[in-house]
């Protein structure tokens, strides 16, 4: 079985000392590399054990919109549980970048694993902080990025309210597991100076993920924020690109709803 993406869209406070200094440097390197090369579309970053929540938080703080997936999974040997690199997942999802700490690189990246990964990846960055914690960024040699799943604020004239793309995309996992449920977080802000009625319509066009209560309405006071939560239920095995979308509507004076914003994210795999 694959290890699956760590979910959640909270932004817990993390100490900005030794442990995270190198992670910030790695995230900034990836952000600059994406901008320098003009990469568009879905960017997947693979992380070794222990890093996903920290990198997600730092990426949000740095306005780096990437999909974060864990590339290690636990294995039980005798009475001990240890992490090892899931090469099958890496070869299937083909993350554009990998972030790996020094200790993880030395322990989890065995000779066989390194040989396999370095066929497709190049070490492009190693941090050099004053602390004992440092790490690597590996970049895929043949980056093939598909079409972007845009936040439609680029094509819609946002008037009245908007959805936080960062919170939404941070809550939708790139890899789901049958039997589990996930919570999509849709944070909406009312930009008007009056109380308004908003509606969210959630949909997964190919039907691989069922969304409970996919249409919700709520009144928001002027300039206020409200968080809608939707339960996502994977219903069939899948390998590809399944797009989940949240559409935001505002009620007009005549009682009709007008679409004012939309945000989407991609599920790449649903596993047993």
Break the chain into its structural domains and give their ranges: 18-140, 152-271
pLDDT per position as a tens digit, 85-133: 888 888 888 889 999 888 878 877 888 888 888 889 999 999 887 777 8
Residue 222 has pLDDT above 80, yes or no: yes
pLDDT of residue 209: 95
The mean pLDDT of the chain is: 79
Which of 73-82, 104-113, 162-171, 203-212 holds the top average pLDDT? 203-212
Place of tokens 């559409």: 247
**Residues paired with 77 in a beta bridge:** 80
pLDDT per position as a tens digit, 4-29: 333 333 333 344 555 678 888 888 89
Cα–Cα dist 223/141, whole Å: 46
pLDDT of residue 71: 83
- Mean pLDDT over 79-85 rounds to 59
Of 183 and 36, the structure prediction assigns the larger pLDDT to 183
pLDDT of residue 261: 92
In the CATH scheme, what architecture does the domain 152-271 have? Answer: Sandwich (2.60)
Cα–Cα dist 75/81, whole Å: 6
Place of tokens 């066989």: 112
**Residues paired with 47 in a beta bridge:** 70, 99
DSSP conformation class of 131: S
Cα–Cα dist 211/204, whole Å: 8
Of 226 and 54, the structure prediction assigns the larger pLDDT to 226
């Amino acid at each position: 079985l694959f290890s699956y993406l760590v979910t959640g869209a909270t932004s817990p406070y993390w100490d900005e000392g030794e442990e995270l200094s190198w992670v910030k440097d790695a995230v900034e390197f990836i952000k600059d590399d994406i901008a320098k090369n003009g990469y568009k579309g879905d960017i997947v970053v693979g992380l070794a054990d222990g890093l996903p929540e920290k990198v997600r938080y730092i990426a949000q703080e740095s306005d780096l919109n990437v999909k974060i997936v864990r590339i290690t999974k636990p294995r039980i040997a005798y009475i001990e549980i240890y992490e090892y690199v899931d090469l099958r997942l890496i070869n299937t999802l083909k993350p554009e970048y990998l972030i790996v700490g020094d200790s993880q690189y030395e322990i989890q990246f065995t000779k066989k694993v390194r040989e396999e990964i370095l066929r497709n990846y190049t070490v492009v960055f190693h941090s050099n902080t004053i602390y004992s914690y440092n790490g690597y960024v590996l970049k895929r040699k043949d980056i093939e990025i598909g079409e972007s799943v845009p936040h439609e604020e680029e094509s819609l004239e946002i008037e009245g309210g908007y959805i936080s793309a960062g919170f939404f995309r941070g809550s939708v996992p790139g890899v789901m597991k049958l039997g589990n449920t996930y919570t999509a977080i849709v944070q909406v802000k009312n930009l008007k100076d009056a109380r308004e009625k908003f509606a969210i319509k959630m949909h997964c066009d190919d039907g691989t993920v069922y969304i409970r209560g996919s249409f919700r309405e709520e009144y928001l006071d002027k300039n206020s924020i409200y968080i809608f939560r939707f339960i996502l239920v994977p219903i069939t095995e899948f390998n590809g690109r399944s797009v989940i979308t949240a559409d935001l509507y505002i009620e007009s004076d005549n009682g009709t709803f007008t679409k004012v914003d939309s945000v989407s994210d991609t599920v790449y795999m649903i596993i047993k």
